[in-house]
Structure 1
Amino acid sequence: MDVLVVGAGPAGMAASAALARAGLDVGCLAPSHPSPWPNNYGLWEDEIAGLGLADCYDRRWDNPVAYTSKTHAHHLDRVYLRLDNQKLRARLTEWCDAHGVRWLEGFAASTRVNKRGITVLDRHGQEYTAALLIDATGHRPKFVEREQGGANASQAAYGFVGDFDGDPIGGDDLVLMDFREDFLDAGPRRSPEATFLYAMNLGDGRYFVEETSLVHRPAMTFDVLEERLAQRLRARGVPVVGVEDVERCLIPMNSPMPLLDQQVVGFGAAASMVHPATGYQMARMLRTAPELAGVIAEQLGKLGADPKDAAQSAWRTIWPEDQVRARKLWMFGLECLLRLEPAQTRRFFEVFFSLPGEYWKGYMSGTLAPAEIARVMWSLFRVAPMSLRMSLTKTAMGREGWEMIRALAG
C-alpha cells in the first residue's frame, strides 16, 4: 500500500480519509474499528469552514462568554461548536469507504525500514508494508521520535454531562472560561492554583460542566478538580439529578518537537500539534489533513519516488518554518501562564479578551504568523497592569525569552 496510518482516533481517521481522497492506497491499523473517542471536542466554526464538516456538530452557540472576575464578563463575537463524535466519525468513515481504505485490526508493535518504505509488525507477527507510515497514536506516540526532554506541563480537566434541577451556569449557553472563585472554601482546602469552569447548555435540562486547569506543572490532580467542580455547583444551589459521560482529560502542553528528519510521519498529538498556550489541536489537525495528503500524493506519484522525500515533504507541511517559530512564541506564552499567580491569571485573560477580536481569535486558533503573535503579546503587555507586566518581564528575562527573540529573528 502507499500509506499505512496507525491509529483510528480523530487524527488517524482524518489522515486516512484525506489520503484516500487524494488517490492513495491507504490502510488504517488500530486495535479495533471503530476505536473509542472518549473526549468532548469544541472548536470555532470558522476554523473548519470549507472542509465538508460544517454539519458535524451537535450544538452551536453564537454567544460564548468568558468571566475573568465577578464584574467582568466578555461576550465573544465568534460562533463555537461542540463536535458530534458520531457524526464526525461517520463522515470520515464514509470518505474512507468510498475511496477504498483498508480497515486493519491489530496492535502495532515494531517497524523496520526497507527499500519499499516501512514495514510494521503487529503483536502477532503480521506484517504491513507501505511506502509511508503515519503515526497517529496520540500524545505518547508509538513510533515518532522526539527531541530530548519530556512534557512537564499539562492541562487537566474533570467534568461530566448531567441532568440538573435548574440552570447551573446562570442563564448562559456557552461559558468558555469562568474564573470566578467566590465558591471556594477558605482555609486549607483552598488550592492556590487558578481553575475555570468550561460549560455548555445542551438543552432539556442537560449541561456539560467541566473544571479545568489551563496549565500546571505538574498537572493538577483530578481529585482537586472534581472537588472544585462540586464546590462550584453547590454554591450555585442547583442539584445534579443524574450524571453521564464523565470526562477526565489530561493534555500535555509542552511535548517536545518531533524530529523532522525521520522517516515516520506523525500527525495530530503524535506530531506535537497541540497549541502550547490553549490545549486546542482538533481544528488545526482537520485543516492540515487535506494539505498533507496532497503533498504526500504528489511525492509518491513521482517516477522513482523515494519514501524519504515524501516523509520530509510531509513533515515540512505539518511543521513549516514559520509554524516552528510560532511554536517558540507560544511556548513563551505557556511559560508566562505557568508563572502567574491566580489573581494575575485572571487579569491576564481580562486583558487578553479585551484585545481586538482578530488578535485573540488568531492567537487561540494558532493561525497568526510569528510577527503577528509578537504584536499580540506587545499589545497585551502595553495595557496590562504593572504587577502583571512585572511577572511577564521576569519570564522574558529567562531562557524562554531568548527563545522568543531567536524565533522573531528567524
Structure 2
Amino acid sequence: MPSLSFVSPLPLPHSKRTIHRNPLSHPTRFSTSQYPTRASLTTPSTPSPSTPSSPPSSYPTPEKLQSHSKIALYDVLVIGAGPAGLSLSSALGQRQLTVACADPQLHKPWPNHYGVWEDEFQKVGLADCATARYENTTIYAGQKKIVLDRPYIRVDRIKLKQRFVNRCKHARVTMIPARVTEVDHPSRQWSLVRFDDQDLTIRARVVIDCTGHALQFTNDSGKNGYQQPWAQAAYGVEAVVNGHPFETDEMLLMDFRDDHAIGDMREASDRRPTFLYVFPSGERRGFFEETSVIAPTAVSFEELKKRLERRLEHSGIVIERVIEEEFSLIPMGGSLPRRGRVVGFGGAGGLVHPATGYMVGRTVKLAEELAEKIGRGLEEIGEDGDVERVAQMGWDVTWNIGMLRQRDFLKFGAELLGTLGMRESCAFFDAFFKLPEDLWGRFLGYELDSGGMRGMFALWFFAIADNEIRIRLLRGIVEIGGWRLIRSVLPEWMSGWQGE
C-alpha cells in the first residue's frame, strides 16, 4: 500500500475557536450524539502504517501578515481536502490560478470507504486507484440473484488522495493544515478568511466550501420552506473471517435477503429495510456492511450492527479479527445549500445523489468543469471586478436549470423508495434492474440529462413494474411528486426557473 506524504507548511495550532454550522446537528430527527455528522467515521483496531506521524513540509506557505493591504491574496481558497476539495484544488492550480486549500486533517488518510463503477473512474483517468476490481456486480432483490455485467472497483483511498496531493504539489497549491473559522466579505473584489490559528489570515477572490455534509459556509437551514435532508446509514467492518459464501470476483451491491431476521427483527426488517453490501478480499477477508434504505429518519447504528451480526451468523460467517470498523451517515435530498458568495462543491454543494448517496465519481468529473468556469470568470472580470458574478458562474455549473429538474426527478424516486417496506423494496429494485443498462446507469450516474429521457425512464419503469409498485407510483405522483415531478419531464423552456 502506498504511503502518504502530505505536507504541513504550518504547525497545527490548538483550536481556540471553531464555527461549524451543521444542519444535521440541530434540529435533527435521528440520533447523532455518539457519532460524527460528517459522512463517515472509521476506527482502525491497529494504527495504519500508511499514516505518517510527521508529514514533511514541501508546499508554499501563506504569509502571516495582518494589514489588509499586505495579507496574502489568492485567486481561490478551497475549504476542505476530501475528494471534492483536492480534485478541485488541483484542477484550479493547473489553470495557473493561485490556489490555497485548507483542512486540519490534511496529513491524515480519508476515513471513508469508496466504491464506484469502473467506467466512471476510467472517464477521469483514475481507474488505477483501486484496491480491487470486480468483473461483475450482483444484487439480490429477494431470493433471485441479479448479475450486472458492469465492473465495479473498490477505491484505494490512500492512493487516490496521494494522487490529488501530488497534482496539487505540481500546480503549486498552498496547503494550509488549519480550520477555517470565518469568511467575511468586506470587499467586492475579495473575501477575508480567518483560521483557528489566530495568527493566520488570508484573502481570496473566490471561496469554495468543500467541507462535505457539514455545510460549514453554505448552510441555508434558516430560510422559509427549508426541507431537512433524509438519510441513509450504514455500519460495516473490514474483517478476517473463517470463510464466506461470496464469489471473490463479484461485488455484492445489495442483498435484501432477510432469512436471518426472526422475531422482533422480522417486523423491524419489514418496516425499515436494510441490505448487505460486500467487498470480498479473498476467501477469508472482506468488507461487510449493513445499509439502510433512504428514509426521513436513519436506522440507528446499534440496530444496523445487530442486523449485520445476525446476518453473518446466519450465513455461518465467524469474524476472527476486525481490521476496521465504519459508521456512515449520509444526508440525502432535502433543500439545496445557500447559493451565495461562497460556492459549495461536493457534499457542501448538495451533489450527493438523492436516491443512492453516490457522489465521488460525479464530483471528480465536475471538478474540471468548475475549475474551467472559475478561471474564465476571474479572467473576464479582471482584478477590479465583482467576484459575486464569478461565484454565480460556479453555482451554474452544478445547479443550472437542467440539473435542478433532474434532481426533482431523482428526489421523487428517493422519497418514494423511503415509503416502501421490505417486500415492496425488493419489487422496486427487481424492476429497476430490468431496465436497459443505459437507463438505470444514467439514473445512478445523475445523467438523465433531458426531460424526454426522464419521461422515457418513467414510462418504461411503470410498464415493467408489478401492479403494487404501479399503484405506489400513481399515489406518489400526487402525494410526493406533484408539480416538481411533472416539470422534471418537461422541456426546460416549459418548466421555468422557479428555484429548486
Q: TM-score range by the shorter chain?
A: over 0.9
The alpha carbon displacement at 1:169 in A equals 2.9
Q: What pairs with 1:11-410 in structure 2 (closer than 5 Å)? A: 11-70=84-143, 72-113=144-185, 114-125=187-198, 126-146=200-220, 148=223, 149-169=226-246, 173-187=250-264, 190-191=267-268, 192-203=271-282, 205-260=284-339, 262-302=340-380, 303-304=382-383, 305-369=385-449, 370-409=451-490, 410=495
- The more displaced of 133-142 and 186-195 is 186-195
Q: Point out where structure 1 has 5 or more consecutive residues left out of the alignment.
A: none
Q: Secondary structure at the match of 1:33?
A: coil
Q: TM-score, normalised by structure 1?
A: 0.96
Partner of 2:47: none
The alpha carbon displacement at 1:170 in A equals 6.0
One-letter amino acid matched to 1:110: E
Distance 1:186 1:238 in 2: 21
Distance 1:189 1:111 in 2: 50
Tell me if the contact between 2:109 and 2:157 (Cα under 8 Å) persists in the aligned partners: no
One-letter amino acid matched to 1:198: Y
Tell me if the contact between 1:64 and 1:175 (Cα under 8 Å) persists in the aligned partners: yes
The alpha carbon displacement at 1:36 in A equals 4.3
- The more displaced of 314-323 and 44-53 is 44-53
Tell me if the contact between 1:7 and 1:28 (Cα under 8 Å) persists in the aligned partners: yes
* Sequence identity percentage: 35
Tell me if the contact between 1:339 and 1:391 (Cα under 8 Å) persists in the aligned partners: no
Q: Secondary structure at the match of 2:293?
A: strand
Distance 2:331 2:265 in 1: 28
The alpha carbon displacement at 1:57 in A equals 0.9
Tell me if the contact between 1:151 and 1:253 (Cα under 8 Å) persists in the aligned partners: no
In angstroms, what is the RMSD of aligned CA positions?
1.6
One-letter amino acid matched to 1:175: L
One-letter amino acid matched to 1:197: L
The alpha carbon displacement at 1:124 in A equals 3.8
Indicate how the Cα distance of structure 1 residues 221 and 312 shifts in structure 2: closer, same or farther if over 3 A, else same.
same
Q: TM-score, normalised by structure 2?
A: 0.79
Distance 1:210 1:94 in 2: 31
The alpha carbon displacement at 1:34 in A equals 2.2
Tell me if the contact between 1:135 and 1:265 (Cα under 8 Å) persists in the aligned partners: yes
Indicate how the Cα distance of structure 1 residues 80 and 284 shifts in structure 2: closer, same or farther if over 3 A, else same.
same
The alpha carbon displacement at 1:167 in A equals 1.4
Indicate how the Cα distance of structure 1 residues 240 and 188 shifts in structure 2: closer, same or farther if over 3 A, else same.
closer
Q: Secondary structure at the match of 2:113?
A: coil
Q: Point out where structure 2 has 5 or more consecutive residues left out of the alignment.
A: 1-73, 496-500
- The more displaced of 174-183 and 299-308 is 299-308
Tell me if the contact between 1:9 and 1:35 (Cα under 8 Å) persists in the aligned partners: no
Paired residues in the alignment total: 408
The alpha carbon displacement at 1:15 in A equals 1.1
Distance 2:401 2:265 in 1: 47
The alpha carbon displacement at 1:77 in A equals 1.3
Higher strand share: 1
The alpha carbon displacement at 1:112 in A equals 1.1
Q: Secondary structure at the match of 2:294?
A: strand
- The more displaced of 247-256 and 187-196 is 187-196
Tell me if the contact between 1:166 and 1:205 (Cα under 8 Å) persists in the aligned partners: yes
One-letter amino acid matched to 1:24: L
One-letter amino acid matched to 2:158: Q
